[in-house]
Amino acid sequence: MEVRSQKMVIQLYDTTLRDGTQREGISLSVNDKLKIVRKLDELGVHYVEGGWPGSNPKDAEFFARVKGIQLEQAVITAFGSTRRADVLVQDDPNIRALLEAETRAVAIFGKSWDLHVIQVLGTTLEENLEMIADSVSYLKGRGREVIYDAEHFFDGYKADPAYALRTLQMAERAGAECLVLCDTNGGTLPSQLVAIIEEMKKVTSTPLGIHAHNDGDLAVANSLAAVQAGVVHVQGTINGYGERCGNANLCSIIPNLKLKLGHDCISDEQLRQLSSVSRYVSELANLAHDAHLPYVGHSAFAHKGGMHVNALVKCEESYQHVDPALVGNHKRVVVSELSGKSNIAYKIEEFGLDLSISPEQARQALQQIKDLENRGFQFEGAEASLELLIRRTQPGYEPPFELIDFHVLVERRQGRGMLAEVAIKVRVGDEVTHTAAEGNGPVNALDLAVRKALLPFYPQLTEIHLTDYKVRILDSEAGTAAQVRVLIDSTWRSRTWSTVGSSTNIIEASWQALADSLEYGLLNGLGVCNP
């Protein structure tokens, strides 16, 4: 199928540091922001919107410090609004802050929607036009490249097309380098959006941009449709972070532009960094990376259905729309009770294990996986436990520690809070350690106690952190007698691994996942600074 659009160079404009931080729960330090700037520059993004210097001192500090960073190509951009109503542009503190940021480019937004001009700004339609013209030409006169963001452009056009168009023409005549049409409320459909862009192309000659939000689950589609309609500048954020349902996701837009539409924007080599940039930003934003993100998610190329895995072995493209390596991701075959022996061999290679497994050992490992899955374990999400299971099939396997016993006491006495205490006995080599700890719950106490017992032997455990603890009730109809599955994620530096346990007793299930997480770390030399 031929895609009907000319190949073009598309400008990528990242607003993760400004609009992205409007997402509930995100707050980036100035240091985090500077780190992300470097990553975005490496990725090949053309503009990086750093923040709104007029709105808060943190953003002003960012602009002061970002000047010291050598960048390959990214143009740092300061964001702000048009001047206030009834104020001289040179006296407007927001405009002054924009200049003080000393960036080569500035983005300013103005109102396109009559409802906003009258009800929100409380000014007149004419004054709003003057505000746009004044602000653009003043910043142009001070040598800035001006990107004009037409806020609510599509909603404004739906309400009063003639007025929306006039606002855009004011910015164009005042010298804006790019007119960015914003779907600020995110509710416009691609068909409406394209029809409006077609109208705009008839009456403006300045390059057009698109800024989409995801309230209709259409932000990526709207951005691509805009490009297919002739727009050359695309705004978005890494991982689609943003207020409400997020902004257009650059991690989906970039590969769609390059791999599906054939437009030039970043190099092939840069595209291969995409998954790593996506994870890096989520890391700094302190958000779990969404496994199901298109192209860059951990599960984006994970195959679970037995039939699909079978087909993939025969032909890679049978259930993959692109080669995952192009975006720095990789295929995963999820091992479950439906797997064959070839999955085990596949996994040994994937884990990079230096061991040979006989067909008989593979059969045993598989049988053990099936037995454990019957008892509620699940290795799909717990590949470290799977690796240990395979290693333990090897004759002469020596675990780094061994549990002898533990007991857990949880007590509630009237007038006192809850108490959770654990006593534990473990063996390392020939030495047996018996110790105890308290925690804010029984599992926390167990975690603290086992670490206390092992630390004298393995000081590197202080570097290994438990970052995620999940509990799932398997047969919840069994009430409090139900089978429980526990999944634990652990990290050391940028390395993350997952382990599993299962039992009707949540303490036992937690113990299994916890012990595997530590055993895996110790066996793989993690936590040691120079391994």
Which residues ranging from 487 to 516 are in contact with a copy of itself (CB under 8 A)?
488, 503-508, 510-511, 514
- Rounded distance between C-alpha atoms, residue 404 and residue 65, angstroms: 55
- Rounded distance between C-alpha atoms, residue 41 and residue 472, angstroms: 41
Q: Which is nearer to a copy of itself, 126 or 317 (CB)?
A: 317
Q: According to CB under 8 A, which one of 93, 305, 429, 459 is a site residue for a copy of itself?
A: 305
Of 220-249, which residues contact a copy of itself (CB under 8 A)? 220-222, 224-225, 228, 243-246, 249
Of 394-423, which residues contact a copy of itself (CB under 8 A)? 403-414, 418, 420
Q: Which among 84-92, 95-103, 124-132, 443-451 is the span making contact with a copy of itself, rule CB under 8 A?
A: 443-451
How far apart are CB 165 and a copy of itself at their closest, in Å?
A: 14
The candidate with the shortest Cα–Cα distance to 447, out of 417, 427, 467, is: 467
Q: Which is nearer to a copy of itself, 3 or 355 (CB)?
A: 3
467 binds a copy of itself (CB under 8 A): yes
Q: According to CB under 8 A, which one of 59, 92, 447, 519 is a site residue for a copy of itself?
A: 447
Q: According to CB under 8 A, which one of 64, 85, 345, 473 is a site residue for a copy of itself?
A: 473
Q: Which among 70-78, 137-145, 191-199, 339-347 is the span making contact with a copy of itself, rule CB under 8 A?
A: 191-199
Instruction: Say if residues 512 and 477 touch (Cβ distance below 8 Å).
Output: no
Of 35-74, which residues contact a copy of itself (CB under 8 A)? none
Of 315-334, which residues contact a copy of itself (CB under 8 A)? 315, 317-322, 334
254 binds a copy of itself (CB under 8 A): no
Q: According to CB under 8 A, which one of 184, 393, 433, 435 is a site residue for a copy of itself?
A: 184
How many residues interact with a copy of itself (rule CB under 8 A)? Answer: 127
31 binds a copy of itself (CB under 8 A): yes
**Which two tokens mark 498?**
């997952």
In 289-319, which positions are buried (b, 16+ CB within 10 angstroms) versus exposed (e)? Answer: bbeebbbbbbbbbbbeeeeebeebeeeeeee
The candidate with the shortest Cα–Cα distance to 238, out of 404, 485, 2, 40, is: 40
Across the strands, what pairs with 105? 77, 145
Q: Which among 134-142, 183-191, 265-273, 344-352 is the span making contact with a copy of itself, rule CB under 8 A?
A: 183-191
- Rounded distance between C-alpha atoms, residue 489 and residue 496, angstroms: 7
Q: Which helix (H) or strand (E) holds 404?
A: strand 402-412
Q: Which is nearer to a copy of itself, 452 or 472 (CB)?
A: 472
Q: Which is nearer to a copy of itself, 137 or 510 (CB)?
A: 510
Instruction: Give the helix ranges, DSSP H, for 204-333.
Output: 219-228, 250-255, 268-271, 274-284, 306-314
- Rounded distance between C-alpha atoms, residue 196 and residue 190, angstroms: 10
8 binds a copy of itself (CB under 8 A): no
Of 103-142, which residues contact a copy of itself (CB under 8 A)? 115-116, 119-120
299 binds a copy of itself (CB under 8 A): yes
Of 333-362, which residues contact a copy of itself (CB under 8 A)? 334
Instruction: Say if residues 94 and 79 touch (Cβ distance below 8 Å).
Output: no
Name the burial class of residue 530, with classes exposed (0-12), middle (13-18) and buried (19+) by CB atoms within 10 angstroms of its CB.
exposed
Contacts of 503 (CB under 8 A, 6+ apart): 376, 483, 484, 509, 512
